[in-house]
Amino acid sequence: MQHPFINDLSSLTLEELQNKITDLNNKLNFAYRTGKGPLIHQISMVIESYRVEYGKKMDEIVKKQNLKTQINIEKK
C-alpha cells in the first residue's frame, strides 16, 4: 500500500530514489528496534511509494534500451 500523502515522485532521479529508499530503510530499522508500530506502518507505506516509482523508472529504461526480458531455453 502506498502512502496517501506522498505526491508526484516522477521528478526524482533513480539515484535520488535509491538514496531515499536507503534512508527510509534505516529509519524503518530504528522503528522496529524501538517497537513503534504506527511508525513502522507509515514508513513502510512511504517506502512502497518510492519503490513503485523506482520500478516505473527502471521499466522505462528497459523499454528505451529495448532489452529482452525473456530467456529462450528451447532446444534446437
pLDDT in tens, 22-68: 999 999 999 999 999 999 999 999 999 999 999 999 998 888 877 66
Query: Residue 52 burial (CB < 10 Å; 0-12/13-18/19+)?
Result: middle
Predicted pLDDT at 14 = 94
- Which range is least confidently modeled, 15-19, 20-24, 30-34, 68-72? 68-72
* pLDDT for residue 72 is more than 90: no
Query: Is residue 1's pLDDT more than 70?
Result: no
| Single pTM value for the model | 0.78
C-alpha cell at 43: 514508513
35: left (phi over 0), alpha (psi -120 to 50) or beta: left
